[in-house]
Chain A
Amino acid sequence: MKPLPAALPCGALLLLAVTADHPLILAAVALSSLFLLLAAPPPHAPYIWFAVLAGGLVVAINPFVGLQGLTPLWRGPDIPLLDSEVTAEELAFGAAAALRIIGSALAVSAFIRLVDGDMLARDVARVAPRSAMIGSLGARLLPTLERDAAGIVLAARGRGVELRRRRTATELVAPLVSLSLERSLALAEAMEARGYGGGPRTARPARRTDTRERVLLGAGVALAGLVAAVLAGAAPYAYYDLLDDPLSGAGVGLAVAVVALGGLAVGAVRWPR
């Protein structure tokens, strides 16, 4: 996917996750981002795990650090620095904050999985050629390093050496640095052998934006319109002192619009080329 069609809907979902307060809109953003990620090329699991863990952490912590809300649900023993009274408002706020984090993380993940790295690097190269090349190679080196780390642990186990969890990181550093230095030298040599650094470069012309990408651009623009509406105060929501009614007309309407536009974007990604 070209960078702009991938960035526009994902960016709009990210902005909605950051700016909206209404829980239904936040839920709609999280849901749309999740389906957009699932429609993108794999892997998906590590991104989903990260988002859910980060969100879960917020849900678990928020009731014990917040001191607001007028609907107590449970009161525990007094613990210094912690709020031992859990209110319905604190739980709802925590859940909304979790949705905000999950939605943001999944929107960024969807962009990472959707965008064509080479096209992104080429676009960045127009402004900063060397940085684009370094960034592109660095992004490719990370999975290789991950594979090397797994290989080293496996080879160590193969000779009866268990790299203990506590020491694994420190024991892996030296061999990983050696391996990555060897790899980067080999890559630099291969690049020079293919003429890199021999003078000014050209770039193959960007391909034309296809129908799928045009639909994505349209969905992104419409989602950006929803961001503007939220920023203009179209769907306000208060968690404290008492929870507002989540089924207010504007909130439900915007949430449905987010899901519909998200669905359109997912359909565009899934549509065969």
Chain B
Amino acid sequence: MAALSFQDVSYSYPGGARAALDRLSLDVEPGELVLLLGESGCGKSTLLRAALGLVPHFHGGRLAGRVIVGGLDTREHRPGELARAAGLVFQDPEAQLVAEGVVSEVAFGLESLATEAGRIEARAEEALMAVGATGLADRSTGSLSGGEQQRVAIASVLAMGQPLLLLDEPTSQLDPVAAEELLALVTRINRDRGVTTVLAEHRTGRLFGEADRVVVMDSGRVSFSGTPPEAARRLARDAPWLLPPVTQAFIASGRQELPLTVREAKRLLGARAEPQAVAGPAGDVAVRLERVWARRGQADALRDVTATLRAGAITAVMGENGAGKTTLALVAAGLLEPRKGRVHTSGRSGYVSQNPAHHLLRETVGEEVAHALELAHIPAAERRRRVSDELERFGLAGVAGRHPHDLSSGERQRLAIASVTVGRPAALLLDEPTRGMDGLRKLALADLLRSLAADGTAVGLVTHDADFAAEACDLVTTIARGRVLADAAPRSVLSEGAFFVSQVGLATGRARTSEAAAWLRATAGERLHA
């Protein structure tokens, strides 16, 4: 019997214009590790919610067909009962925290399942041990970092002991090291404990080669289901942006081999490219921080920091979670006064928060973009023209009359950026703009940022997504524990470092896919010639 079975399932959310799941059929066998891929909005999250009966019991809407999980039909059993058969870890760990203490948090599900009282504590502690989080047992959930919260969230589900684990983009909030650790943990849970695992994820680098099966979704349907090598061959033709970056580099080079991991790529190549310095654009200095110390909370988040943003260049600010990246962006944007040191700017700076919902103040998308111009008393005609231009540039003209909270997450992100760039800041700081974005959206964002830089804007991008930084940025500033390690270094450092390194860089020695592809073509040509 399949651990999870979708039989010709269609589902529409209440008021939804189109089906979120469209005659979808899929069987997941016990012990399988299934990687679920697809663009944002293709139905991955809905599929996971349907597996636990949250769709339709919690969200409402119309469901046709049957979903069977652990032998239970989700039409006849509510999520509270289905929770014995499957556990779901959501994308945002903070949004699923119920209790104040970590052990109480992990025990919550066990208590809900009416587990024998005397066994709850031991099972909660065991689950924390399984995810390597015993050190967090005495902490309050409010004091945990994003990575720690996600570990506790997984422990909370594991403790309940269901045979099926569902994960909805669990690494979207994590830095590269925390994400790698988490994905390794998920793989271990599947391999060692035999827990059937279905994981929706945009960061495919680590898991693609590890999965037993890759399922690709498109418009609410399963468009492909097969082994990772089969999926790679199919996606190379139809949607290469869903593949691991290193595979994308090989496809772009025109080579026939499709390595799915850095290890495979290295084995195929034998050697990496010689280091190559790629000079970034030498525009005027738009923002300069000189020996800046700044506090957030009780501690110094920046310590003696000197950093530069140049006009016409995109500079990535990189570092692990809690390194001081956001503080640096806030100081550069003039939103946080440094405790010591100086900040020189050539004009006004704009800042886009990591939560786009924080930018949504008005009733319609058009009003939202116009808001800053109204307060700056820009004449009505000029205002209309600039708002119209910005809506067009960010692909929001078609939704100008809609309420901002009705937009998709991608549209919200674009609206947040448009509401800032309409004021034409000399420097634009964006805080983690790629959180939860799929590969295609990241490419579109990179294009947008390049167009802003081409207009002379100095763009600063706080991110821990090394692959995106390599594709989008010209310069890189790295930061650790409040101190700058390298200021405005050429992006080629992303192929050389140990922590801040793109997957393509690790495999080939070239940080950006196009550069790696060119090098791969050249090496293939040399071999042919030889």
B96 → A minimal CB distance (Å): 3
The interface residues of chain A, by DSSP majority, are classed as helix
Interface: B11 (CB within 8 A): no
- Chain B nearest Cβ from A126, distance in angstroms: 13
Cβ-defined partner of A193 (8 Å) among B54, B423, B429: B54
A152 touches which of B124, B350, B358, B423 (Cβ 8 Å): B358
Residue of B with least CB distance to A188: B58
Closest residue of chain B to A184 (Cβ to Cβ) is B95
Is B97's CB under 8 angstroms from A159's CB?
Answer: no
- Does A175 lie within 8 Å of B361, measured CB to CB? yes
Q: Which residues of A contact B78 (CB under 8 A)?
A: 197-198
Contacts of A116 on B, CB cut-off 8 Å?
100-101
Residues of B within 8 A of A195 (CB): 79-80, 83-84, 109, 112-113, 160
Alpha-carbon gap, A183 to B95, bound state (A):
6
Chain A, Cβ-Cβ closest to B104 = A118
Residues of B119-146 at the interface with A, using a CB-CB cut-off of 8 Å, are 120-121, 124, 140, 142
Task: Give residues 171-197 of A contacting B (CB, 8 Å).
Answer: 171, 174-175, 178-179, 182-183, 186-197
A155 with B87: in contact, given A160-B376, A204-B124 (CB under 8 Å)? no
- Whether, in the assembled complex, B278 has its beta carbon less than 8 Å from a beta carbon of chain A, the answer is no
B419 in contact (CB, < 8 A):
yes
Cβ of B108 under 8 Å from chain A? yes
Residues of B within 8 A of A159 (CB): 350-351, 359, 371-372, 419-420, 422-423
Instruction: Count A interface residues, CB 8 Å.
Output: 48
* Chain B residues, Cβ within 8 Å of A130: none
Contacts of A129-173 to chain B: CB distance below 8 A: 136-137, 140, 143-144, 148, 151-152, 154-162, 171
Which residues of chain B are within 8 angstroms of A188 by Cβ–Cβ distance?
58
Which residues from A are CB-within-8-Å of B357?
A: 175, 178-179, 182
In this assembly, does A81 line the interface, its C-beta being within 8 Å of a C-beta of chain B? Answer: no
Docked-complex contact A161 and B112, CB < 8 angstroms: no
Point out the residues of chain B lying under 8 angstroms from A46, CB to CB.
none
Q: Cβ of B108 and Cβ of A194 under 8 Å apart?
A: yes
Given contacts A116-B100, A158-B352, A195-B109, contact A189 B58 (CB under 8 A): yes
A201 at the interface (CB under 8 A from B): yes
Pairwise interchain contact B83-A174, C-beta atoms closer than 8 A: no
Judging by beta carbons under 8 Å apart, are B114 and A187 in contact? no
A-B CB contacts (within 8 Å), total count: 173
Q: Does A80 contact B (CB under 8 A)?
A: no
User: Which of A151, A174, A192 is within 8 Å of B80, CB to CB?
Assistant: A192
Cβ-defined partner of A194 (8 Å) among B156, B333, B423: B156
B358 contact from A144, A148, A201, Cβ within 8 A: A148
Closest A residue by C-beta to B122: A204
Residue A205 lies at the interface, judged by CB distance under 8 Å to chain B:
yes
Minimum CB–CB distance from B342 to chain A (whole Å) comes to 20
A132 CB → nearest B CB, Å = 12
Query: How many residues of B sit at the interface, in one of the four size bands?
Result: 35 or more
Bound form: Cα–Cα A190–B405 in Å:
21
Question: Is A218 on the interface with B (CB-CB < 8 A)?
Answer: no
A198 touches B92 (CB 8 A): no
Alpha-carbon distance A160/B377, docked complex (angstroms)? 12
Known: A160-B348, A193-B52, A195-B84. A201 touches B360 (CB 8 A): no
The verdict on B457 contacting chain A, using a C-beta distance below 8 Å, is no
Closest residue of A by beta carbon distance from B359: A155
CB-based nearest A residue for B405: A178
Chain B min CB distance to A143 (Å): 7
CB distance from A198 to the nearest CB of B (A): 2
Taking the closest CB of chain A, its distance from the CB of B338, in whole angstroms, is: 16
Residue of A41, A158, A191, A199 with most partner-chain B CB within 10 A: A158
Cα of A204 to Cα of B416 in the assembled complex, Å: 45
Interface residue A117 (Cβ < 8 Å from any Cβ of B): yes
Measured between alpha carbons, how far is A201 from B101 in the docked complex, in Å?
19
| CB pair A158 B95 closer than 8 Å | no
Say yes or no: A143-B142 contact (C-beta < 8 A), given A152-B361, A156-B361.
yes
Q: Does B2 contact A (CB under 8 A)?
A: no
User: In the assembled complex, which residues on chain B have CB atoms less than 8 Å from the CB atom of A179?
Assistant: 357
Other-chain contact of A192, B58, B107, B330, B358 (Cβ < 8 Å): B58
Flag whether A127 is at the interface (Cβ < 8 A): no
Residue of A nearest to B416 (CB): A155
Query: How far does the Cβ of A118 sit from chain B's closest Cβ, in whole Å?
Result: 4
Cross-chain contact A196 with B80 (CB below 8 angstroms) = yes
CB distance from B418 to the nearest CB of A (A): 10
Tell me how far the C-beta of B233 lies from the nearest C-beta in chain A, rounded to whole angstroms: 36
A160, A162, A191: which contacts B423 (Cβ < 8 A)? Answer: A160
Residues of A with C-beta under 8 A to B87:
193-194
Produce 1/0 per residue, B84-97, CB < 8 A to A. 10011010101111
* Contact B98 A187, beta carbon cutoff 8 Å: yes
> Do A205 and B118 touch (CB < 8 A)?
yes
Q: Which 3 pairs, one residue from A and one from B, show the smallest C-beta to C-beta distance?
A: A198-B80, A158-B351, A195-B112
24 cross-chain CB contacts under 8 A:
A117-B100, A118-B99, A136-B98, A154-B330, A155-B353, A155-B416, A159-B422, A160-B372, A178-B357, A182-B357, A190-B95, A192-B54, A192-B79, A193-B52, A193-B88, A193-B96, A194-B98, A194-B109, A194-B112, A197-B112, A201-B111, A203-B111, A205-B118, A205-B120
Given contacts A117-B101, A158-B351, A195-B80, 18 further A-B contacts (CB under 8 A): A118-B101, A137-B98, A140-B98, A154-B335, A155-B358, A158-B350, A159-B422, A160-B348, A160-B376, A160-B423, A161-B371, A161-B375, A162-B375, A175-B360, A195-B160, A196-B108, A198-B83, A204-B120
A residues sitting closer than 8 Å to B (CB atoms) are: 41, 116-118, 136-137, 140, 143-144, 148, 151-152, 154-162, 171, 174-175, 178-179, 182-183, 186-205
Residue numbers of B with Cβ under 8 A of A are 52, 54, 57-58, 78-81, 83-84, 87-88, 90, 92, 94-101, 104, 107-118, 120-121, 124, 140, 142, 156-157, 160, 330, 333, 335, 348, 350-353, 355, 357-361, 371-372, 375-376, 405, 416, 419-420, 422-423, 425, 429
